[in-house]
Each structure stands twice: as structure tokens, then as C-alpha cells.
Amino acid sequence: MSRPAIAHIRLDAFRHNYRVAKQCHGGKALAVIKANAYGHGAVHCAKSIEGEADGFAVACLEEALQLREAGISEPILLLEGFFEANELPDIDAIDCLIVVHAKWQLEILLSAKLAQPLQVWLKMDSGMHRVGLSPSEYVQAFKRLNGHKNVAKLVLMSHFANADNLSSDHTLQQIEVFQNTIHELKQAINVETSLANSAAILGWQQAMRLSDTKTRWSRPGIMLYGANPIVQSSQVHVLKPVMQLTSKIISIRNIKKGDSIGYGSIFTAERDTTVGVVACGYADGYPRSAITGTPMAVDGKMTRLIGCVSMDMLFVDLTDIPAASIGSQVELWGNQVAANDVAKAAGTIAYELFCNVKRVHFQYFDASNI
């Protein structure tokens, strides 16, 4: 019998969430499937919306090559562009779109000898201050790239720092910086733009509709996997979880009030407690930082994590689930247990939970094909 920790991936839910993203935003959408689709499986996710997606976004050339080798023909954007000049021939050969976010990339691109011109997404630092050209640098870069023999098309883009915080006005400030800069570029009239990540799609729809839908691209990421970065968003109920992480109970212990369990003895029973040992731990991607009280479900009934998460095992409170037994299914997150709730209890975010899942068996389902 193989180890029972399984990541069930619902591809119909991924497709549903992509459609929600497009409907909310109104324009075209690049499905962000970098980091192996946030741990869900990039090729499987891409195939599930093949022919429907306007394109995909990945971090780097290696991720793009994986998709092309799998037969994905839709546009693929390299969100970090290229790291060295010698990548450009391969980028050219597999027909990728590139982000240019730094002056050194700009200079290399302008002097490169390419078989065909590339589509360039020129990134502005409108206030996040991670990567991107400052507004003054941006204007000059646009003028140099516009009409250059190595550039087939220009898309103007930026990225938000605080779109997941609806009480912050920083997103509106960034939009204003972006638009004011573009207005300086007379040649940029009707040029395509891309601002909206998942948080902006869900939380800042009015602000996102300032340009024509025909020239507006979104870049949905975490929402494609069913996790909403904005708790206050009215769209939270329309997303469907894509990953259900489950395992099974492999041992049951009865401990007395005052007894402690696990490494560090950090949990001491306040009453006689029935404890289930679950075959899943931090080596599988479940966060070691999760605290007692983190929600989970056993045979469909809500309960809680107790004690310290080990490398291969963790503890679940079965005191109020007397019917639980060896082999009972435990949902760590997914359909009943929101990944956001687990992440909050662990002091992290759903992005990290998903990306860290490993060693478990991945099983892919598509309800529309059943």
C-alpha cells in the first residue's frame, strides 16, 4: 500500500476560475502558471484551458520550454524576461513574449540579432519598487523600443504592491502614476496594457475598467487555484478550490488530561483526548508553523490540528468524532477546509502552501469529462 497523502487536482475548477477572472476583468487574460502552476502542475493546468486561454505567464525560459514541449501553442509571457543575452535565441525560437524591466535588458534587446522580432511587455515601477523602470526611464525606453526592428509589439505593464488591501489607497496611486506616464506617450494611444493581478481583478474592478477591453490584459494567478487574496471581496464565493490535500489516520491514541504529545510537548490535553496520527507532515508541504487549532476535517467533520507538525506526521483531535478509525480520510485543505484559513493559522499565505506541496501523490480530475 502506498503512502496515503494525496493532492487531488480538479481541472474543471481551474477552468471555472479562469472564466471567472475573464468575466470580472472584461479583457484578455494570461493564466499565471509559474512555479509549476503554484504547485498544481503546469502542464495539466495549461492543457485544461488549451484553446480557451488567451495565453500563459511563467517566470522563466525553463518553464516556457516545458509547456512548448508538451504541445502548448498559446502565447507564453516570461514574467522576469531573460537573465542572460544567450537566452534570446531560444526565446525567439519558441516564440515567447518577454518582460523588459531593467535598463540592462533593454540594451541587450536593442543590440541583439534575432531571427524574428519579439513581443515586449515593458514594465514600469509605479510604486512597488521591486523591478521595473521608473516613470522617467519608462518614457525613454518606450521611445527607443517603439518601432525598433527587434520589437514586434509593445504592451505596457506594471504590478501592484497592495491590491489585496482594500483599505489602502496605494493601488489608486499606482494606477495614477501609470496612466500619467502613458499619457506622455502620444504613440501609446490604443497600446495594450496590463495591470491587474488576482487581487486587482477581484477588489479593484472599477479602477481596472479605465481602458478599453480590447486593449486590456489581466494576469490572474492565485485566484485560478481557488484562493482569494482579498477576504472582503464579493467574489469570494464564486471561486472553486482546485487542490484538495488529503491523507489518512494511521494510528489512534487516547491520552489523559495533563498528558502531552509530540516534539516539544507543546500540546497538553485539557481533557481526556482522542488523538489521530495522520500521514502528512512538513516534508509533504504541510506548514510546520501551523498551530494547535488549525482547522482540518476528518470524514467530513470539522476538527483541529493539535501539537507540533513533524516531518512525516501530524496530530488531529478526534475527541468529538468517535466514529473515526484507522483509515479515516483527513482533509488538510480543499473543499471543506479553506487553504486561506490554514495559511492564516500558520502565519503564511495560500501561495506558499500550494507551492510547497511535494512527495504526495497527485491525482488529476476533470468533472466535465466524467
List residues with catalytic annotation.
34, 263
The set of long-range contacts for 340-344, using a CB threshold of 8 Å and a minimum separation of 24, is: 340/227, 340/228, 340/231, 341/294, 341/295, 342/287, 342/290, 342/294, 342/295, 342/296, 343/287
Cell of 86: 544567450
CB of 225 within 8 A of CB of 198? no
User: Which of 18, 45, 47 minimizes the C-alpha distance to 34?
Assistant: 45
> What Cα–Cα distance (Å) separates residue 190 from each residue in 38, 94, 182, 187, 194?
33, 27, 11, 9, 13
Distance CA(123)–CA(102), nearest Å, equals 8
Distance CA(315)–CA(123), nearest Å, equals 46
Distance CA(77)–CA(99), nearest Å, equals 7
User: How many other C-beta atoms are found inside a 10 Å radius of the C-beta of residue 194?
Assistant: 24
Sign of the alpha-carbon torsion through 201, 202, 203, 205: positive
Three-class SS of residue 176? helix
Cα-trace Rg, the chain: 23
- Rounded to the nearest angstrom, the gap between the alpha carbon of residue 242 and the centroid of all alpha carbons in its chain is 11
Three-class SS of residue 130? coil
CB of 331 within 8 A of CB of 260? no
CB of 38 within 8 A of CB of 24? no
Q: How far apart are the first and last CA of the chain?
A: 27
